[in-house]
Structure 1
Amino acid sequence: MSSSVFTASSLFLRTLSRAGITHAFVNWGSDHPALLEELERQRVESGTLETTPTVVTCPNEMVALSAAQGYAQATGRIAAVIVHVDVGTQALAGAVHNVDRSRTPVFIYAGASAFSAHGEHKGTRNEWIMWIQDIPDQTAIVRQYMRHTAQIHSAITVEKTVKRALQIATSEPKGPVYLWARREAMEEEVSSALLDDIQDTKGWPAVEPPALSAFAARTIATALLEAKSPLIITSHLGRSTEAVSALTSLASLLAIPVINSCPSTVNLPFSHSSYTGVTFLSPGSHWEGLKSADVILVIDSDLPWITGNDRPHDNARVFIVDGADPLRVNIGTWHIEAEMICRADAFTALTQLSDTVTASTNEAVDLQARVGERRKLVEATHAKLVEILEQAETATPYALPALDDKSPQYTFSVPTLIGVLRRSIEAMTPSKGENILYLNESISNYPAVWMGLRTEQPGCVLSSGGSSLGWGLGAAVGASLGCRTVGNLGALHTKGRDLIVVIVGDGSFMFGVPSSAYWMARRYETPFLTIVLNNGGWKSPKLSMLGVHPTGHGSAVPGTQLSVGFGPDTPDFSQIAVAASAGWAWGARIGGDAWGESKSSSELLTDLQRTIKDAIRVVSEEKRCAVVDCVLESI
């Protein structure tokens, strides 16, 4: 056995480890010889076959980055992704958009072709691909999505280059960073003493969160105190579990209704009377109180309303608060009419507002009477919302439109399905449904799923935060690994979840590269339940068309003819997972053609309940993945 050689790659991995990065999601290539050698050195010398960071092999790069995103979202800890030169960087695909828009810190590293070709340096070019992969500006592939990009030039600068990138990634606006290096740079040999000198990130802290100015806090608090119909709109305030508590306190104090606009996190417990529901801003879907609100606090929301669909009154006082980017400088066109725009951390700002309101209650005219009346209205509105959801969940299975002379087929509504799922989880898990992590990529069914889950705990529902489909499956692998080994976001003293559930559309399932995701789930034993909402195609593009051409040529044709459908022969999605995991995953298909024989509605509902419970049991007791392909009414 050869003696150990230490390189810039040794310093690189040691720096990541000392910075607290426990997992690296990797897809190796010809640019990584020194990294592979260093990892094997660690295994040999430790005698445990373990490495730091832990390496997670990912057969697909988008799945790798989605897994790192899910890991960070579920734990609050940054992970690393390592990919192969320009082609691996390109293969990160839409996941780059998601980590950017969701403000998720991820450390991305890619190698690059060697710069020498005649043996001048260790790592010099020795394969034909190193010529065609040597492009003029590799970083340009992802630069506009990154918080920071840099090249590692030499071994001696590795530590500082990596720590600067991590410091930027974990400061607001949080997000991905991208480093790259030539082969020769990562092969540079160093003494073991340099390895021992690598320190933690003390001296490299993230930037402290900003607060409202005293004037802004007083102005906004006074407006809320004097308002007749105040309103709070948020989208992703729940990225901070502390902020959820602060929002709950302020909403309770003044009985202010809260709208979740295009949410990507749990921002307010469902049971709170201020919870008014969810909107993804389609025409007429906003809360009816938007138009009558006289003071609106928009806090951590990418888009509170679409002016052409639903909008507040022209005389409404609007205040915008965002902890990182209140002007959305990376969005080409964005504007919300506002009286005041503030850069302030949500938890800090809401705490300031609550303190100012509490100290000023004696000065507000008729405050108690106004708040008392508003509280009655808010509670009645919430009770009505719950009643509507209850009615939707009790809908029984129904017949699909008949096809030619075939026997009728049956399916169920999404609210019915989600209701069965939620109640089954509550009955079958130790926490009664409290310690569950849901990953929601249901797209055209977002509103029904968000409200149907009725979640209470901050951090228990996540979405991609962006618009590139395919996040859910990889994110589930990363979230499962993270929760099990590091801990749950907001409760780092606890590890693991009773259950992790991914809810995806059939389009999202295929975008998620299931052959890679379920292979990873099997390899790293990350069991999760997947619910596929199978409506036979891409419903969202059809809805987009109908939004512009409501009575056009395409308005009355089926999805397959419109080229957005997957029929008539759609995949059996559950069996894709079974095959990808070499038979380890469990799969079932319900609804539509899976319910062949004629049964009563009550019998079909019993079948649905039984299948969901079987799937939960497989995941929670047998520790295997389970996939339920739920055939809905086709687009």
Structure 2
Amino acid sequence: MGVWPHADTFKGVESINGPRGFRKVSMNVETPSGITVAQSYMAALKACGIRHVFANGGTDFAPIIEGILRNRQDGGDMPEFVTVPHEHVAVAMAQGYYLMSGNIAGAMVHVNVGTANTICALMNAARNNTPMFLASGRSPSTETGDPGSRDFWIHWAQENYDQAAMVREHVKWEYELRHGQPINTVVGRAVDIAMSEPKGPVYLQLPRELLGSPSTNPGPLPRGRAFGTVPAVADIHAIERAADMIAAAENPIIVMTTPANAATFKALGAFAEAHAIAVHTGPHAALSSSNPMNLGRVNGPALKAADLILVLNSPVPWVPKHMQPNKDARLIHIAPDPHFATYPFRGFEMDLAIAGDPAASLTILGDMLNIKLKDRGAATDRRRKLNGEKRQALLDSRRAAIEAASTESPISYVWAAHCVNEVKGANTTIAEEIGVPFDFLDIEDDRDFMATSLGSGSLGMGLGMGLGAKFAAPDRTVITTLGDGGYMFGCPTAAHFVSQAEKLPVLTMIMNNSEWHAVRDAVMSMYPDGLAAKANRLPIVNLSPSPDYHKIAEAFGGYGEKVDDPAKLKGAIGRALEQVALGRQATLNVVCQRR
């Protein structure tokens, strides 16, 4: 087979998605004879900005594997395919990769069974608005007559009437590639949809016979531009109305319970500080922990005291059963979709619903407030002083909690967070899955922290997302903190395998309380005076006997250590991070108390 004469066509492609860059692509790509659809598909992925595909293969991958080897031999362009031995870890890695880099990643899995294994992680991606290109094979549809026809008994059993049905509710777009369709157009459309607000995953099925067939019509690549749509700027009249409402308020606050991207993190911090407006968050990083207007978690007293609440991109700004705003407070919601149409039932009230990008909206809103508050400096100064006093009280309470926790045994979650803070360096990302409490961590950049357990609440994301973050930013130290239940959900042998095989040294801190705390908490919340409140051991909650989790990493060349003494925790974290710095994954099994 000769050298592909058009191998250099894709070489100049630069495809960094989102706000971090643009791409330049050729409008027309000729297909040399002998090139398969699988090879054209891989070239289209690379040209559309997908540089890495986290893959778990099967019999449907035969044309993909042959295509990878042909491309290596002939110089064809394609993404890097990374072997991940479980689909849940693969999809979690794609999410961590995007959150760290801003670039969309691919995941590819085996027909219906592989697709089924992605669903929990895919649900989280959908609710977190994380873009991802998920592809799967499709069981061959012919019994004879094609090199890709069925040749294993399983090919009959693995055919669904509607394979995409299992993911349809959790993706923005799904499709099956048809014979003769231009693969560049199909892939480009998928990436455009995934990267348009509200962002989210897309799904493409690829029949085996089609992947192995000659590529005759890849079609033109999209014009050189950023994928997706340009972030929408809110209606200027709506923003002015919001500015009037904020300017008239005595005690406005901002609530953002979702993670902020780089632009929103910066814009929110600047806006809040400039106008002395307190910000309350959920278990996510929306602004730096040192920002003087960061007043911690959203809480009942803050909601009751506010006469105006600006809600930013938060599907659940508070839980009405536990806390609600003052009934006279004005409510403004700003989000790409402030009604969150993908949520079947949602009843949060609002006086003004503004569709728009939060970062762009805050910038314009801030400019308007500069004018409207020009003669109200005294009111802004009063708010700044009051919020400063509240923040000082918050910091004092945190210091007291740390001091009280320092000698508690079993180890306190608060003390564990403090020890992480004391030991970690500035260039560290914490991937947190109900591990150490977010409130006690120092976060200065949007990449310093990622909460991995929210979305649809499917546990087991932490291990994969931490690996994806490390893959995207190998220069950063990654610490994954999670519970023992989340660790088991995370397919740990697959995760430790990838860490070793791909040289992705991560510190995993397992906060081991020998139970599913979230289940216990739900029982206590619903039946505070029930039998469960008096029981020491609850059915379907307890995870005893607790295994030596730290030894699992040792099987993959990692460092493992068990810690049950609070006085020794800081030293253990330091030793583990020393191993990570040497290129070796590490796991700490931290025996801790119930939350």
TM-score by length of structure 2 reads 0.91
Please give the alpha-carbon distance, in whole angstroms, between the structure 1 residues aligned to 2:485 and 2:410. Answer: 19
Please give the alpha-carbon distance, in whole angstroms, between the structure 1 residues aligned to 2:543 and 2:352. Answer: 48
Please give the alpha-carbon distance, in whole angstroms, between the structure 1 residues aligned to 2:484 and 2:526. Answer: 24
Contact 1:11-1:198 at 8 Å conserved across structures: no
Match of 2:205 in 1: 180
- Of 566, 569, 592, the residue aligned with 1:608 is 569
Shift of 1:372: 1.1
- Of 116, 121, 124, the residue aligned with 1:90 is 116
* Pairing 1:48-87 to 2, within 5 Å after superposition: 52-87=78-113
Match of 1:247 in 2: 268
Shift of 1:68: 0.7
- Of 347, 355, 377, the residue aligned with 1:368 is 377
Shift of 1:216: 1.1
Contact 1:246-1:351 at 8 Å conserved across structures: yes
Please give the alpha-carbon distance, in whole angstroms, between the structure 2 residues aligned to 1:398 and 1:203. Answer: 57
| Residues 1:22 and 1:198: Cα distance change in structure 2 (over 3 Å) | farther
Contact 2:283-2:451 at 8 Å conserved across structures: no
Residue 341 (str. 1) matches residue 377 (str. 2): no
Please give the alpha-carbon distance, in whole angstroms, between the structure 2 residues aligned to 1:440 and 1:79. Answer: 21
1:123-143 CA-partner distances (Å, limit 9, x unpaired):
111111111111100000100
Match of 2:365 in 1: 353
Residue 298 (str. 1) matches residue 311 (str. 2): yes
Contact 2:129-2:200 at 8 Å conserved across structures: yes
Please give the alpha-carbon distance, in whole angstroms, between the structure 1 residues aligned to 2:378 and 2:167. Answer: 55
SS of equivalent to 1:462 = strand
Match of 2:449 in 1: 461
Please give the alpha-carbon distance, in whole angstroms, between the structure 2 residues aligned to 1:51 and 1:15. Answer: 9
Please give the alpha-carbon distance, in whole angstroms, between the structure 2 residues aligned to 1:308 and 1:514. Answer: 36
* Pairing 1:542-553 to 2, within 5 Å after superposition: 542-553=520-531
In the alignment, residue 585 of structure 1 is paired with which amino acid? G
Shift of 1:361: 2.4
Shift of 1:306: 1.9
Residue 471 (str. 1) matches residue 447 (str. 2): no
Please give the alpha-carbon distance, in whole angstroms, between the structure 1 residues aligned to 2:2 and 2:367. Answer: 65
Please give the alpha-carbon distance, in whole angstroms, between the structure 2 residues aligned to 1:434 and 1:222. Answer: 40
Shift of 1:117: 0.9
Contact 1:538-1:565 at 8 Å conserved across structures: yes
In the alignment, residue 104 of structure 1 is paired with which amino acid? T
Shift of 1:452: 1.1
SS of equivalent to 2:373 = helix
| Residues 1:588 and 1:291: Cα distance change in structure 2 (over 3 Å) | same
Shift of 1:161: 0.8
Please give the alpha-carbon distance, in whole angstroms, between the structure 2 residues aligned to 1:203 and 1:357. Answer: 33
In the alignment, residue 224 of structure 1 is paired with which amino acid? I
Match of 2:26 in 1: none
Match of 1:257 in 2: 278
| Residues 1:231 and 1:419: Cα distance change in structure 2 (over 3 Å) | same
Match of 1:6 in 2: 35
Match of 1:388 in 2: 397
Aligned length: 564
| Residues 1:201 and 1:437: Cα distance change in structure 2 (over 3 Å) | farther
Shift of 1:475: 1.1
Residue 319 (str. 1) matches residue 332 (str. 2): yes
TM-score by length of structure 1 reads 0.86
Please give the alpha-carbon distance, in whole angstroms, between the structure 1 residues aligned to 2:194 and 2:223. Answer: 13
Contact 1:322-1:342 at 8 Å conserved across structures: yes
SS of equivalent to 2:85 = coil
SS of equivalent to 1:164 = helix
- Of 432, 435, 443, the residue aligned with 1:440 is 432
Seq. identity, %: 28
1:367-410 CA-partner distances (Å, limit 9, x unpaired):
211111111111111111111111222235556xxxxxxxxxx4
Please give the alpha-carbon distance, in whole angstroms, between the structure 2 residues aligned to 1:331 and 1:220. Answer: 25
Please give the alpha-carbon distance, in whole angstroms, between the structure 2 residues aligned to 1:387 and 1:203. Answer: 50
In the alignment, residue 331 of structure 1 is paired with which amino acid? Y
Match of 1:598 in 2: none
Please give the alpha-carbon distance, in whole angstroms, between the structure 2 residues aligned to 1:173 and 1:134. Answer: 32
In the alignment, residue 504 of structure 1 is paired with which amino acid? L
Contact 1:434-1:457 at 8 Å conserved across structures: no
Contact 1:124-1:184 at 8 Å conserved across structures: yes
Contact 1:237-1:346 at 8 Å conserved across structures: no
Between 1:463-472 and 1:137-146, the stretch displaced more is 463-472
SS of equivalent to 1:108 = strand
Shift of 1:563: 2.3
Please give the alpha-carbon distance, in whole angstroms, between the structure 1 residues aligned to 2:227 and 2:86. Answer: 33
Task: Flag structure 1 segments of 5+ consecutive residues without an equivalent.
Answer: 280-285, 400-409, 426-432, 485-495, 596-603
Shift of 1:271: 1.0
Residue 563 (str. 1) matches residue 540 (str. 2): yes
Task: Flag structure 2 segments of 5+ consecutive residues without an equivalent.
Answer: 5-33
Residue 452 (str. 1) matches residue 440 (str. 2): yes
- Of 237, 241, 244, the residue aligned with 1:215 is 237
Residue 575 (str. 1) matches residue 594 (str. 2): no
Please give the alpha-carbon distance, in whole angstroms, between the structure 1 residues aligned to 2:267 and 2:594. Answer: 42
Contact 2:402-2:414 at 8 Å conserved across structures: yes
Contact 1:234-1:260 at 8 Å conserved across structures: yes
Shift of 1:156: 4.1
Contact 1:106-1:169 at 8 Å conserved across structures: yes
Shift of 1:434: 2.5
